[in-house]
Copies of this chain bind each other. A is one copy, B any other.
């Protein structure tokens, strides 16, 4: 059997049992056109600052910036150079510059994405966003390339037009604490109606263990951008308060924190300052970085209690696991591998201080699904401050969502979750990701209705909450 059409049936991703599917379709019909709330993304705000921004070639849109895509090709032995990934000069093979060749390699290996979320997102993007009717294969590669090029050249494919077409209501970017937010200023200044707001991410100024001198460079940048001379722990906190206020003024409603382990443990101001001073001199001790991070998470919670910024925590990734690849291509190249993560003991110090405070919202993410039922749902099902983020990264997938609903909701209920976020650099994939979530959540709810666990009336309210309300509420948007 040979199939040349890119199938994307209307009832896709729903279970095939007819009764349940019918319920799922009914629920989905009620939420599929709700606006998209995107409270956590990595889209570059530049994309919206320039009204005439163009995504470049199909390879530049779909392959080169998307580590979900090229890591899979790399895992099968295709060098990143052959996929056009920029790398350190003089360090190996030449980087492919012919984007038609890159696209051909991608198409020749498109079978690798069978059954993967990337495969599902791409199917949506190609079929729905770009109206490509053929299946991507070695044979159709160049025809499809040309069709995409044509689309991308048209005004309908400017990011601001897609923002409206995708029916986005708010999109939060993720921005370094030292970012002057010039792009966000430009977007505001342009008078465009889109709501693009920043998120405060201070990892670079908190992480003392960054490679050689990088941290001090970030501290210098912090001094510069805040106008506060950061020379000790106290001025450091002042500068952070200053930046948080500025981000808030620019529309931010949240902060984001990436750590390997979600350890929290308070230091006295004196001890924190001693570590800070050692780090400034480049002489911090082996465990200073970990102790400082564990302290700063509590400090950030304290500041969130004060300024109301929602606090997101993304722990558990061993970043840049592959040294050679990192040296050659840098960060975010598909070589971040999760590690087991513990929350119950690690978060206790923070939660004992602020977990009961109604002014704090702490949204927890995980790459370790064993914590869903064991730790995260019980924590969210007890502490007023804790909400659970949606399935993250590798688990932002059809199965990952099913496992999440299965493991989280019985203990936490859905009302202790933060709905969905797309968490992507790939702007064109945003509607595909939300659609997948809405289908997955309606399918799960249909299972509850079909088994008499909730009635249709409740399921309708839950479907809307999962698709729209919960994210908006958790992120105060």
Contact = CB atoms under 8 A, between A and B. Distances in A.
26 contacts: A2-B457, A3-B457, A12-B453, A14-B451, A15-B17, A16-B17, A71-B381, A71-B382, A74-B382, A75-B381, A75-B383, A75-B412, A75-B416, A114-B413, A114-B458, A115-B462, A321-B344, A321-B382, A322-B351, A322-B383, A334-B381, A334-B382, A337-B379, A340-B340, A340-B374, A378-B394
A400 B394 contact: no
Q: 6 closest Cβ contacts across the A-B interface?
A: A12-B452, A16-B450, A3-B457, A9-B452, A397-B410, A77-B384
B380 A394 contact: no
Contacts of A323: 352
A406 interface: yes
A338 B374 contact: yes
A425 B16 CA distance: 39
Contact of A72 (B352, B413, B453): B413
A447 B13 CA distance: 10
A11 interface: yes
Nearest to A411: B394
A20 interface: yes
Contacts of A344: 318, 321, 337-339
A146 B379 CA distance: 34
A461 B111 contact: yes
A360 to B, nearest CB: 11
A366 B458 CA distance: 32
A409 interface: yes
Q: Which one of A76, A325, A383 has the highest number of Cβ atoms from chain B below 10 Å of its Cβ? A: A383
A461 B416 CA distance: 41
A394 to B, nearest CB: 5
Nearest to A355: B322
Contact of A356 (B324, B379, B395): B324
Given A112-B415, A369-B370, 20 more contacts: A1-B457, A15-B17, A16-B19, A75-B381, A76-B415, A111-B461, A114-B413, A115-B409, A115-B413, A318-B344, A322-B355, A324-B352, A337-B344, A337-B379, A337-B382, A369-B373, A370-B374, A377-B394, A394-B410, A403-B406
Tally of this chain's copies: 3
Contacts of A411: 116, 394, 397
Interface in A68-107: 71-72, 74-77
A213 B71 CA distance: 47
Contacts of A335: 382
A7 interface: yes
A318 B16 CA distance: 41
A345 B339 CA distance: 8
A150 interface: no
A454 interface: yes
Given A17-B16, A344-B337, A413-B116, A75 B384 contact: yes
Contact of A117 (B75, B397, B410): B410
